[in-house]
Structure 1
Amino acid sequence: MLSDTNSDGGSDKLSPALSRLAEALDIAPTAFFDATASDLGQTTELLRSWHAISDKHDREKVLAIMHTFASRA
C-alpha cells in the first residue's frame, strides 16, 4: 500500500495529499512509510470510529479525552 520508498527510507514521489496530511499532523511524510502494520490498523480503527460518531458534542468529548492522553506523552 505505502511502498513508494527508496533505499534511504524516503519517498520517491509523495502525493500532494499525503504531504498535506503529514503537514496537518505535524509529522514527516516518511512517517507513513515507517509505520508498522499494527500502527496502521489502530489508526484505521480510530478514524472509522471517529467517523461513526455523528453527534458534535460526543466528538468534542472524545477530543477532550484524546488531548488529555496526548498531553501525558
Structure 2
Amino acid sequence: LGVNNRDLRTFKEDLGTTERVASLVPSNVTLVAESAIRSAADARRMAACGAHALLVGEALVTTGDIAGKARELMLVDDAEVRS
C-alpha cells in the first residue's frame, strides 16, 4: 500500500501522513512511504512508523551525487530503527 506524503493539490509535503496511516495498515500488507524522503533521518522516521519500503525520487535527482544519496538512504539498519 503506497502512502503519498505529498498533497497532489498543493504539493505540500508531510511525513506525518504515513505516520498517521501506518497504524491502520494490517501487518501482512507492505507499506510504502512515498515522497518527501530526503535524508537518512527521514528514512529512519518512516521505518520507525512501520514503512517497509520507500519511494524516493526528488532527493535523488536534485543531488550532485546520486550514488552517495542512494547509499545514505539505503544504509538505514533495521536494528537501529527498532532499538
Interval containing the TM-score (normalised by the shorter chain): under 0.3
Q: Of Structure 1 and Structure 2, which has the larger fraction of its residues in helix?
A: 1
Using CA pairs below 8 Å that are at least 6 residues apart, which structure has the higher relative contact order?
Answer: 2
TM-score, normalised via structure 1 length: 0.27
TM-score, normalised via structure 2 length: 0.25
The structure with the larger Rg is: 1
